[in-house]
Amino acid sequence: MRIAVSMLAGALGVAIAATAIAQPAEPAAPAAPAAGAPLSGEELYRQRTCFACHGADAKTPILPVYPKLAGQNPAYLLQQAMDIKSGARSNGNTAAMKGVMHVVSDDELKLIAEWLGTLN
């Protein structure tokens, strides 16, 4: 019985290894920043969930009324974000943003805006 279990376990291991080898390699995740290192604008965009509404590429928002952020003027983006965060801007589309702005610092908003300005 032990021999049969051992053979079955060995065959299962070979099958798993063969499957793993046959799978296409997934793209490597971006390297985590060193402890204490600040996150980049791109990393913050993903971590602070901006992509959930504005799209992973910042060009394909989930609703047509949400702005495409890629390639926008960083100073403009930052001012709009700061106005939403402070309540100075409060129109129909800002309610969704207001719910997440408390998790993004002013410095992080600046980094995100700068990164978005580099996109085409």
Instruction: Let me know if residue 3 belongs to a domain.
Output: no
d(CA 44, CA 110): 10
Confidence (pLDDT) at 33: 53
Domain residues for 103?
39-118
Residue 108 within a domain = yes
pTM over 0.85: no
Span 30-89, pLDDT tens digits: 455 556 678 999 999 999 999 999 999 999 999 999 999 999 999 999 999 999 999 999
In a domain, 16, yes or no: no
Is residue 52 in some structural domain?
A: yes
Asked, for residue 101, whether it belongs to a domain, the answer is: yes
Token code pair at residue 55: 């799209």
Domain-located, residue 62: yes
In a domain, 109, yes or no: yes
What pLDDT is stored for residue 61 in this prediction? 96
| CATH number, domain containing residue 107 | 1.10.760.10
Total domain count, the chain: 1
> What pLDDT, in 10s, does the model give residues 77-100?
999 999 999 999 988 888 889 888
Instruction: Find the angle CA(92)-CA(93)-CA(98) to the nearest 5 degrees.
Output: 105
